[in-house]
Amino acid sequence: MAKCPICGSPLKWEELIEEMLIIENFEEIVKDRERFLAQVEEFVFKCPVCGEEFYGKTLPRREAEKVFELLNDFKGGIDWENKRVKLKLNDLLALETMLEEWDRRVKR
């Protein structure tokens, strides 16, 4: 799971994406896989626990890719007017990981 590279606190993707809502045209960027992933890498996030800033490229790329898919699968997951992410992205990521693990066990 995503962690702050400075203090090691676990981070919630829904909060990270909320920080990104200030980016101009983010509503368009979020529909474009390459642009979205590039923005995540370049964006300077602020850890809500220690208050330090860090680049998104320190976050796990695999999770960023899944977050992209989740944001596009669940239309209305972002409340643009109130600048809130309504999806519980961390919970959904954990669920996906669990299902993948289950899938591997069944196929073995």
What's the one-letter identity of residue 38?
A
What angle do helix axes 13-20 and 61-73 make, rounded to 10 degrees?
A: 80
Decide whether 46 or 61 has the Cβ nearer to Zn ion.
46
Name the 3-class secondary structure at 33. helix
If one asks whether residue 6 binds Zn ion (CB under 5 A), the answer comes out as yes
Among 1, 7, 98, 99, binds Zn ion (CB under 5 A): 7
Interatomic CA distance for residues 57 and 40, integer angstroms: 7
Decide whether 45 or 68 has the Cβ nearer to Zn ion.
45
Binding mask 85-104 for Zn ion (x = CB under 5 A): --------------------
Decide whether 10 or 100 has the Cβ nearer to Zn ion.
10
Interatomic CA distance for residues 73 and 10, integer angstroms: 24
* Enclosing H/E stretch for 98: helix 89-107
Name the 3-class secondary structure at 79. strand
If one asks whether residue 4 binds Zn ion (CB under 5 A), the answer comes out as yes
Q: Scanning residues 36 to 75, which ones bind Zn ion (CB under 5 A)?
A: 47, 49-50
Residue for token digits 């642009």? 35
Decide whether 7 or 94 has the Cβ nearer to Zn ion.
7
Binding residues for Zn ion, rule: CB under 5 A, are: 4, 6-7, 9, 47, 49-50
